[in-house]
């Protein structure tokens, strides 16, 4: 699967060095990071907080520059942000002056899709995320979970080559979070697309992904890849009691904690 570097996300020798504004010292956030996300695969990136996973995702999106290495998406080299890499943020980042429909239409309007088709597409995607009937609501009239559904619809409607998700369910309550995780699975299973999902929640990574990439502490590099061999469709009701789920959770957790301990040990020296 990973022997087809022309499609999906290909990261080679990525490096990010920045200057700490307080100490004026150079900090290596990412070093020698290689990653392959084959087309239509769901990959989670997990690692201790502050390990550079969000930085990595921002570089993937083109919102920040790398200082070395290369990234390509479906064979196209990434240099700046573009509609081929959709992104869902932890804080939803909806436009508060636009209704749910208008938010979803934002990217379609930029693409020059005529108003009628835009509206139809927006309706279709809002329906897909379970928001039929909320088309004319403004973000402030929607709960956090509903806002994130709008943000998901907005990113999907643009039909990106890869969907980047930056701890998208991190600020939701547990019940809403598991609902949205299942929703994301239903959407993805119905219409697979390449997803890079950043999280620090082990359960979430195991539940959603085909593979979980464990990043090392700073400087980040992909330390270990865990293949998640759980059956699909994935639903919490079935997986919660699946013994394999427990094993995978344990495995990933051990890896993440080992990295964490390495940091603590390193600091102690």
Partner 1 sequence: MTGATGTNLGEIAGRVRGLSALVRAIYRVQIVLKRRIPLIYALVTFLFPLAIIGGVWAFLASLELYPDYLFPSPSKVFAKGVEMSLSGEIFRHIAASMFRLSVGFVAGLVLALPLGILIGVNRTASALFMPPVTFFQAIPGLAWVPLAILWLGLGPAAVIFIIFNSVFFPILFNTILGIRSIPENMPNAALCLGASPWVLVRGVYLPGALPSIVAGVRLGIGYGWRALIGGEMIATSTGLGFMIFDARQFLGTDVVILGMVVIGTLWLVLDSLILRPIEKRTVIRWGTVRG
- Sequence-distant (6+) residues with CB within 8 A of 243 are none
Smallest gap from Cβ 128 to partner 1, in A, equals: 17
Our finding on whether 83 is near partner 1 (CB under 8 A) is yes
DSSP 8: S
Buried b (16+ CB within 10 A) or exposed e, 210-231: bbbbbbbbbbbbbbeebebebe
As measured in angstroms, the least distance from the Cβ of 109 to partner 1 is 9
Examine residue 91 and tell whether it contacts partner 1 (CB under 8 A): yes
User: Considering only residues 134-163, where is the footprint of partner 1 by CB under 8 A?
Assistant: 138-140, 151, 154-155, 158
Closer residue to partner 1, CB minimum distance, 103 or 123: 103
From residue 32 to residue 71, what is the string marking binding to partner 1 with x (rule CB under 8 A)?
-----------------------------xxx--------
Minimum CB distance to partner 1 smaller for 155 or for 256:
155
Q: Which stretch binds partner 1 (CB under 8 A): 14-22, 27-35, 93-101, 171-179?
A: 93-101
CA–CA separation, 45 vs 154, rounded Å? 22
Q: What residues numbered 97-126 form the site for partner 1, per CB under 8 A?
A: 97, 106-107, 110-111
Nearer to partner 1, 156 or 256 (CB): 156
| Alpha helices, DSSP H, located in the chain | 53-61, 100-110, 115-128, 144-157, 174-190, 202-208, 236-239, 243-268
Q: Which residue has the tokens 């930056």?
A: 166
Q: Is 18 in the site for partner 1 (CB under 8 A)?
A: no
Do the Cβ atoms of 152 and 165 come closer than 8 Å? no
- The beta strands (E) that lie in 53-92 are given as 68-73, 76-77, 85-88
Stretch that binds partner 1, among 82-90, 120-128, 181-189, 192-200 (CB under 8 A): 82-90
With CA atoms as reference, report the closest residue to 213 among 2, 19, 25, 70: 2
Min dist. Cβ of residue 85 to partner 1 (A): 6
CA 240/CA 190 separation, integer angstroms: 22
Torsion angle of alpha carbons 227, 231, 233, 235, nearest 10°? -90
At closest approach, how far in Å is the CB of 91 from partner 1?
Answer: 6
What's the CA gap between 91 and 213, in Å, rounded?
23
Min dist CB 154 to partner 1, Å, is 7
Q: Exactly one of 13, 75, 81, 115 binds partner 1 (CB under 8 A); which one?
A: 81
In the bound complex, what is the minimum distance in angstroms from residue 252's beta carbon to partner 1?
A: 27
Judge whether 199 and 241 are in contact, CB under 8 Å.
no
Count of residues near partner 1 by CB under 8 A: 28
Which of 96, 114, 231, 266 touches partner 1 (CB under 8 A)?
A: 96
Cα separation of the two ends of the chain: 41
Binding positions for partner 1, rule: CB under 8 A: 61-63, 81-83, 85-87, 89, 91, 93-97, 106-107, 110-111, 138-140, 151, 154-155, 158, 164
């Amino acid at each position: 699967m990973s022997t087809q570097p022309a499609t999906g996300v290909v990261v080679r020798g990525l490096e990010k060095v920045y200057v700490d504004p307080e100490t004026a010292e150079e900090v290596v956030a990412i070093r020698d990071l290689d990653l392959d996300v084959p087309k239509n695969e769901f990959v989670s990136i997990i690692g201790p907080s502050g390990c550079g996973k969000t930085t990595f995702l921002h570089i993937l999106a083109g919102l920040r520059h790398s200082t070395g290495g290369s990234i390509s998406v479906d064979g196209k080299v990434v240099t700046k942000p573009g509609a081929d890499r959709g992104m869902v943020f932890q804080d939803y980042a909806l436009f508060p002056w636009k209704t749910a429909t208008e938010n979803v239409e934002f990217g379609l309007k930029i693409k020059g899709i005529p108003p009628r088709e835009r509206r139809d597409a927006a309706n279709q995607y809002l329906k897909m995320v379970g928001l039929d009937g909320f088309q004319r609501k403004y973000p402030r009239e929607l709960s956090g979970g509903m806002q994130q559904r709008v943000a998901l619809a907005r990113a999907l409607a643009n039909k990106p080559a890869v969907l980047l998700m930056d701890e998208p369910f991190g600020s939701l309550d547990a019940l809403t979070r598991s609902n949205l995780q299942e929703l994301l699975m239903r959407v993805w299973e119905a219409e697979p697309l390449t997803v890079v999902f950043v999280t620090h929640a082990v359960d979430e990574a195991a539940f959603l992904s085909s593979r979980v990439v464990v990043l090392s502490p700073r400087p980040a590099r992909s330390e270990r890849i865990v293949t998640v061999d759980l059956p699909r469709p994935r639903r919490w009701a079935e997986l919660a009691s699946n013994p394999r789920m427990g094993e995978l959770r344990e495995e990933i957790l051990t890896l993440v904690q080992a990295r964490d301990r390495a940091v603590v040990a390193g600091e102690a020296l």
